[in-house]
């Protein structure tokens, strides 16, 4: 992970439990490592771990997500924020402002960005329930309310239009796009993951995620292509447009599209355990 990521070290479960006692029932000693751990296939265990981390390391008072919504792994999410900080280094006296496309019910990226670097953030989402939950998560911790604002996107066709206001400027935009092309694809991937972990049972009990969080027509590739195309109309209002690209196979076509638009771009590789991903960043 990024050298600045505080989650490079193993979790201190004693400290986490002290801040959030509800985590305690899920912690056990791994027979393989002899270290404290949790069963990451149990959705509520991951939720309680997230709550503990956010209270201990990021100063939150409380944090929740509606049943069935995506529960994000915080170390990987924090990595994106640290790489953005490297990307948008400016005068230290300048207030950084970022936009999270698809904030989700968890509001995790703006929370980490604000609590790590003091940035001002705007988050947007098309799902009304996610927007409501995100606003509640911000309201739990009063200091966040002055730095994070949340807007609802009302158009299925638009990504930036209707969100970025006239003459508003963002140093960066960020996005964790839907990976899959359909519910069937998402379910198949989840079942494969469960099989690898040797877990049986209802997939919904183990891994959260709503339709708009996991899949969309055309999947990740088409969504990012739309984002790149629509970013041209906001090139004077954004310093760096960025997005995660989970599937490396999509990268060549995306870079070709950026080259046609004469954009400057960077690909930032990320690795978390066995999982590899990358940030695609571009500007005009």
pLDDT by residue (tens digit) across 136-167? 999 999 999 999 999 999 999 999 999 999 99
Mean pLDDT, the chain, rounded, equals: 88
pLDDT above 70 for 29? yes
User: Where along the chain do its domains lie?
Assistant: 70-283
User: Within 10 A of 66 (CB to CB), how many other CB atoms are there?
Assistant: 14
Stronger pLDDT, 159 or 183, i.e. the higher one: 159
State how far the Cα of 200 lies from the Cα of 198, in Å rounded to an integer: 7
Q: Specify the pLDDT at position 276.
A: 87
Pairing of strands 148-152, 275-283: unpaired
89 vs 179 pLDDT, higher one = 89
* pLDDT tens per residue across span 57-83: 999 999 999 988 888 999 999 999 999
Taking Cα atoms as reference points, which of 224, 187, 231 lies closest to residue 206?
A: 187
Instruction: Write down the pLDDT at residue 190.
Output: 46
CA angle 58, 61, 65 (to 5 degrees): 90
Helix (H, G, I), strand (E, B) or coil at 256: helix
Q: What is the reported pLDDT for 89?
A: 80
Joined together, the tokens standing for residue 187 give: 């379910």
pLDDT for 90: 65
Quickly list DSSP for 100-124.
EES-TTT-HHHHHHHHHH--EEEEE
In this prediction, residue 113 carries a pLDDT of 98
Of 5-19, 88-102, 182-196, 233-247, the range with the lowest mean pLDDT is 182-196
Neighbours of 94 (CB within 10 A): 9
Question: Tell me: the pLDDT tens digits for 243-266?
Answer: 999 989 999 999 999 999 999 999
The domain made up of 70-283 has a fold known as Rossmann fold (3.40.50)
34 Cβ contact partners less than 8 Å away, ≥ 6 residues apart: none
Among positive and negative, which fits the CA dihedral 228, 233, 235, 240?
A: negative
CA 253 to chain CA centroid, nearest Å: 23
Query: In this structure, what is the dihedral angle of CA atoms 240, 267, 219, 235, given to the nearest 10 degrees?
Result: 20
Per DSSP, 7 falls in state: G
Sign of CA pseudo-dihedral 230, 105, 113, 85 = negative
Q: What's the pLDDT score for residue 49?
A: 97
Cα–Cα distance list, 62 to 2, 25, 51, 89, 137 (Å) = 26, 19, 7, 31, 7
pLDDT band at 194 (very low <50, low <70, confident <90, very high): very low
Q: Supply the pTM of this predicted model.
A: 0.87
Query: Which of 140-154, 200-214, 229-243 has the lowest average pLDDT?
Result: 200-214
**Which of 66, 62, 83 has the alpha carbon at shortest distance from 144?**
62
Q: What is the mean pLDDT of residues 35-51?
A: 94
Q: Would you say residue 3 has pLDDT above 90?
A: yes
- pLDDT for the residue numbered 27: 98
Other Cβ atoms within 10 Å of 1 Cβ, number: 16
Question: 238-245 and 120-125: which strand pairing?
Answer: unpaired
Q: For tokens 């911000």, what's the residue?
A: 138
pLDDT band at 213 (very low <50, low <70, confident <90, very high): very low
Question: Count of residues for the chain?
Answer: 284
Whether pLDDT at 188 is above 50: no
Mean pLDDT of 182-208: 47
Whole-number Å distance between alpha carbons of 52 and 138: 16
């Amino acid at each position: 992970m990024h050298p600045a990521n505080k989650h490079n070290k193993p979790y201190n479960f004693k400290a986490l439990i002290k801040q959030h006692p509800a985590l305690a029932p899920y912690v056990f000693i791994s027979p393989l490592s002899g270290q404290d751990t949790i069963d990451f296939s149990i959705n509520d265990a991951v939720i309680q771990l997230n709550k503990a981390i956010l209270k201990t390391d990021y100063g939150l008072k409380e944090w929740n997500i509606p049943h069935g919504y995506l529960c994000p792994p915080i170390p990987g999410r924090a990595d994106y924020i640290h790489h953005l900080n490297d990307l948008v280094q400016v005068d230290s006296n300048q207030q950084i402002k970022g936009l999270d496309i698809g904030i989700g019910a968890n509001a995790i990226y703006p929370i980490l960005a604000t609590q790590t670097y003091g940035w001002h953030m705007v988050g947007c989402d098309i799902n009304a329930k996610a927007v409501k939950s995100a606003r509640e998560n911000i309201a739990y911790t009063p200091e966040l309310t002055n730095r994070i604002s949340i807007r609802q996107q009302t158009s299925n066709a638009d990504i930036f239009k209707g969100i970025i206001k006239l003459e508003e400027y963002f140093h960066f935009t960020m996005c964790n796009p839907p990976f899959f092309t359909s519910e069937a694809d998402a379910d198949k991937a989840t079942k494969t993951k469960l099989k690898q972990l040797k877990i049986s049972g209802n997939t919904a009990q183990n891994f959260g995620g709503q339709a708009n969080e996991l899949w969309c027509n055309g999947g990740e590739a088409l969504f990012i292509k739309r984002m790149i195309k629509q970013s041209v109309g906001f090139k004077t209002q954004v310093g760096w447009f960025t997005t995660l690209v989970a599937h490396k196979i999509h990268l060549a076509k995306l870079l070709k599209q950026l080259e046609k638009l004469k954009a400057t771009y960077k690909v930032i590789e990320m690795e978390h355990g066995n999982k590899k991903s990358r940030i695609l960043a571009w500007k005009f």
